[in-house]
Amino acid sequence: MYTNDMIKQLFSWIDDSKNFAIELQTELTKRPAISPDCGGEGELVKCEFLENWLRSNGITSLERYDAPDSRAKGGVRPNLIATIPGEDNDCKLWIMSHIDVVPPGDENLWNSDPWSVKIDETFEKGKRLFGRGVEDNQQGIVSSILAALAFIKQGLKPKRTIKLLFVSDEESGSVFGMDYLVKNYSELFNKNDMVLVPDGGDEKGEFIEIAEKNIYWVRFNTHGKQAHGSRPDIGVNAFIAGSYLALRLHNELSEKFDEKDSLFDPDFSTFEPTKKENNVPNINTIPGEDVFYMDMRILPRYSKDSVFCEIEKIISETQNKYHVFIDYSIIQSTESKPTSADSKIVKELSSAVTKIYDVKPKIIGIGGGTMASFLRNIGIACAVWTKTEKTLHQPNEYVLLENILKDAKVMLQLIVN
């Protein structure tokens, strides 16, 4: 049992750990961890630094679960687990963050080097740290480490065992991260455990996410017949047919699957054409091939089969109208069962958030995807929460130092409850 003095001692250590937080953010940001899917070398360099940093600061129980990937540096995508043994090992607290980041995009839009932390002390909300990844997901990484280190540095044993998980590949589908772990090492996770994923939230720290829309990324390839631009009569314009298909999919799927659910924001399913591949390099050629992609975020009440049955019907009608052949492939398919609002993690997290941030949490669902979905699908209750400025994936991404420290206190409160 923790006395009030012990808890104050732990909180005081977190208040005094600003330099720890800045140091770790600075070192992590120096080491880009971009997926090979986005032109990077993967996460190995960043993971090895983190592993060594944790060990040098007293967290010595470390295990790696590397997913093989020949495209990545070292041929692997690392997943790291740090364990801080507690008095209760039957209900462990997992805090799961991802070490990969998205590319910086157009660096001309940044006011500083995205791979070097810039500190701004003039912001009205407090000290800001700028850099790619500082919020997504290094805020979660650093806060969870501070919460664990508080016990080690103060010589106190946690009430429940702490498991910090740092995974690869979250930004590109989690094939080499959480999906790999669930498929190959599901015995790591116990249905009695509590899981916090600090990778989504709002500016007040109110939102606790317990459900996600089903996500399907789909590539559509339209095959026509290439011809000279002056002879469309002897060609079959794949671009026209593909554009017709994209509009029909967007409009008709939205109309057919039109129910709403107030748990989510937006409260409806979305069917958005997004990426478009180049078809021909010159203006005066009728394209014989055309490729576009769709990002679909669908309320869990609709089955995958019902959606794709409608997609195939629209494809068939498009083929007949334009005399083309259309095939499609599913790039990502993520379906997620919800976590109960009455689960232990949701109730205890709600209490901790109220205590630290003085807000009344709201239970929500999201259209985005997190690693929580993979665990929910095997019966593990997960809550996604953090207090965020929502600058993830943007130029001049930043994190508030105060949010890092207070989030750590929320996590610490979960440990001592």
Which are the catalytic amino acids?
A: 100, 170
Sign of CA dihedral 212, 332, 197, 65: positive
Decide: helix, strand or coil at residue 13: helix
Q: Which residues of 19-52 are buried (b: 16+ CB within 10 A; e: fewer)?
A: ebbbebbbebbebbbbbbbeebbbbbbbbebbbe
Task: Read off the tokens for 58.
Answer: 């007293």
State how far the Cα of 261 lies from the Cα of 268, in Å rounded to an integer.
7
Q: Which uninterrupted H or E stretch holds 280?
A: none
Identify how many contiguous H helices and E strands the chain contains and give both numbers. 10, 19
Alpha-carbon distance 366 to 388, whole Å?
A: 15
Give the closest residue to 263 by CA, choosing from 299, 307, 216: 299
What contacts 372, CB < 8 A, 6 or more positions away? 96, 195, 197, 209, 212, 336, 339, 382, 383, 384
d(CA 110, CA 102): 14
Assigned token pair, 238:
């794949």
Opening angle at CA 297, ends 98 and 254, nearest 5: 165
Q: Which residues contact 342 (CB under 8 A, 6 or more apart)?
A: none
What the block records as the tokens of 265 is: 């924001």
Backbone angles phi, psi at 160, to 5 degrees: -120, 150
Euclidean distance between CA atoms 311 and 217, whole angstroms = 13
As a whole number of angstroms, the distance between CA 158 and CA 88 comes to: 8
